[in-house]
Amino acid sequence: MPDTRDSRRRSTAERRPPARVPSSARWTARFVALAGVVDLLTVLLPPARYRLHLLTEVVPLTGVQTARAATAAVGLLLIYLSVGLRRRTREAWFLAVALAVVSAGLNVLKGLDLDAAAISAGLLAALLSGRRDYCAAAGRSSRWRALAALAGFGGAGLAFGVAEIAVRSHALEPGQSPRLWVVHAAEGMVGVTGPLRFTRPAVADAVSLTTGTMGLLAAAVALVLLLRPLGRRPGHTPDDVQRIGRLLASHGHQDSLGYFALRPDKSVIWSATGKAGVAYRVIWGVSLASGDPIGDPEAWPGAIEAWLADCRLNRWTPAVLGCGERAGLAYARQGLNAIELGDEALVDVAGFSLEGRPMRAVRQAVGRVERAGYTCQIARQKDLPPEVLAEARRACHQLRDGDVERGFSMALSRVGDPADGDCLLVLARDVEGRLRGMLQFVPWGPDGLSLDVMRRDRAADNGLIEYMVVTLLRQAATVGVARVSLNFAVLRSVFARGDRLGAGPVLRLWYQVLMLASRYWQLESLYRANAKYLPTWLPRYLCYPALADLPRIGLVALRAEAFLTVPHFRVRQRTAPTPAPSVERVTAWG
């Protein structure tokens, strides 16, 4: 007899919405953006004279001009709303329905544009027919913030409009009370011509432009706040840290990036059993996971389902940066797409040798540094004296190239923390005993290391990095290491084949683009630096819901890895509640 719990679990999984946005919602969002573009085009194109002549017999010319300006505003709002509709929020749907009705009326009012009005009517029908697709609600704080912004900016705009009328009061016709000033400014903010009469049309147009702009600004700020997804403050609880440590001890050999889940700017969401988790960070409405899920691969589907459910609840776009092939298949089964992002360089310690012509450049670099009198110390962090560890921390900051600490998916971003006792440091000193270079490797299971930090004094002899890496590989057996993961090479296959004879035009174009990007981000030099050790290349993947999400996910990935930096402002961030941990608690490292 089948297990009823398993059958209920399967039925629940079948009813669970996929990670991707339903096709109907995606097409509706595109339709909304198209309708917004049509509205903007009809405003830019001059109206037909015979239609305008017929219309002005019924509607004043100022009303037609106001309708044209309002149509442009509606078009811009529809384009912006298409993003919210992709997140399937009820608020975006209600606003889109209202704007579709307004757009249809304005297109008739501004020039009898029946074609554009028919598109708006079709949009309204599409929105009403697919209303059940929009089930995500904005947080209560979003609504109150939007109302507060609307009231605040609206009040400021009203005051500014009244002040401008007061300054230009010399152009008012006599007999108009200040009470009408307030009414005129308020009506101007919603695109309606107020009751005031000016002696000069230029002054009337200037006041209308000011009040209309302030009203549009208030509506736009409120709309942005209403549709902005919640964030989440990153960080681990003590229970998370203990659980990650236990899972790394039992399953950490599977993924060289597993230890980086301990970064302080990541959070972890766990499966119901607590046997697996997904490490992620929320940036600009994207929940960006990194590497493979932590823990037992049999429990990965449960952790991925919990993470995707959290994304749906908070209207985040899910994405995975740098997962392996097995994890990529697990994410693909949950509805995500995957593309190859690049390759990780893996070196087998037993098979490494400096002999042979391919290793000539590395062999010469190592020999040059050795002849200069450099020495290398290799030790676990827990075995180093406190003064040496403090020296390594200082060198990590002093020898860094630039002020920004880069890394997210393949960096720990700390050196010398007492919790990282199993991390291995490679310290290179010159003949005078000064620390001139350092490497930090994090544990990769019981017999592996994964490169984390690479620092070199620019005034040191060339070949210092090669000397440290080769010294580690030569002495790896003495510290129980059988395999080493070096740096990650983005789109390695393009660099490897793009300049070869027979490369196709698309591959050559990709190669030229990446070579241009390498002037700023050292992509090509990083690949060459890895390739000189003749490693085995392990592909890594980027997982995403839909092709339209890739540009935003790409920007978020650059932001997470600190290749794209933004000015830091102390702004209070709206945060979503952290998912409650599962019942199981871990009280010790495995």
Evaluate whether 533 touches 468 at the Cβ level (below 8 Å).
Answer: no
The sign of the dihedral angle between the CA atoms of 339, 345, 350, 356 is positive
Q: What is the DSSP string of 261-314?
A: GG-TT-EEEE-TTSSEEEEEEEETTEEEEESSPEE-GGGHHHHHHHHHHHHHHH
The predicted pLDDT at position 583 comes to 33
CA 169 to chain centre: 50
Q: Would you tell me the crossing angle of helices 23-44 and 61-86 to the nearest 10 degrees? A: 160
Give me the tens of pLDDT residue by residue for the chain, a chain 590 residues long.
344 434 433 333 333 444 455 566 677 788 888 888 888 888 777 767 666 666 666 666 666 666 777 787 788 778 877 776 776 667 677 778 888 888 888 877 777 777 788 888 888 888 888 777 666 555 555 667 777 777 877 788 788 888 888 887 878 888 788 888 888 888 877 767 778 888 877 778 777 777 877 777 777 777 767 666 666 777 788 888 899 999 999 998 899 999 999 988 899 999 999 899 999 999 888 999 998 999 999 999 999 999 999 888 777 889 999 999 999 999 999 989 999 888 889 999 988 888 888 889 899 999 999 999 999 999 999 889 989 998 888 888 888 766 656 677 788 878 888 888 889 999 999 998 899 999 999 999 899 999 988 888 888 888 899 999 999 999 988 888 999 998 787 777 666 666 665 666 766 676 666 667 666 666 666 777 788 888 888 999 999 998 878 888 888 888 887 766 655 444 444 456 565 544 332 222 22
Task: Find where tokens 């609504």 sit.
Answer: 143
Evaluate whether 586 touches 239 at the Cβ level (below 8 Å).
Answer: yes
The predicted pLDDT at position 507 comes to 61
CA distance 477 to 209: 76
DSSP state of 198: B
Question: HSE (CB half, 13 Å, CA atoms) of 472?
Answer: 30
CA distance 463 to 411: 23
CATH value of 349-487 in 1.10.1510.10, 3.40.630.30, 3.60.20.10, 3.40.47.10? 3.40.630.30
CA distance 315 to 90: 11
Query: Length of the chain, please?
Result: 590
Q: Would you tell me the crossing angle of helices 23-44 and 114-129 to the nearest 10 degrees? A: 160
**Phi, psi dihedral angles at 38 (to 5 degrees):** -60, -40
CA dihedral 508, 513, 516, 522 (to 10 degrees): -100
* Nearest Cα residue to 538 out of 323, 337, 261: 323
CA distance 276 to 272: 9
Q: For the chain, percent helix, then strand, then coil, each to nearest 5?
A: 55, 15, 30
CA distance 210 to 206: 6
DSSP state of 479: G
Identity (one letter) of the amino acid at 33? A
Return the structure tokens found at 120.
């708006």
**Phi, psi dihedral angles at 421 (to 5 degrees):** -65, -25
pLDDT for 483-540, tens place per residue? 999 878 777 766 666 666 566 676 667 666 666 766 666 666 677 778 888 888 899 9
DSSP state of 111: T
Domains of the chain by residue range: 17-137, 138-228, 349-487
pLDDT for 36-88, tens place per residue? 888 888 877 776 766 666 666 666 666 666 677 778 778 877 887 777 677 66
The predicted pLDDT at position 444 comes to 92
Alpha helices in 275-434 (DSSP H): 300-314, 325-333, 360-371, 386-398
483's enclosing H/E stretch is strand 483-490
Burial of 91 from C-beta contacts in 10 A (0-12 / 13-18 / 19+): buried
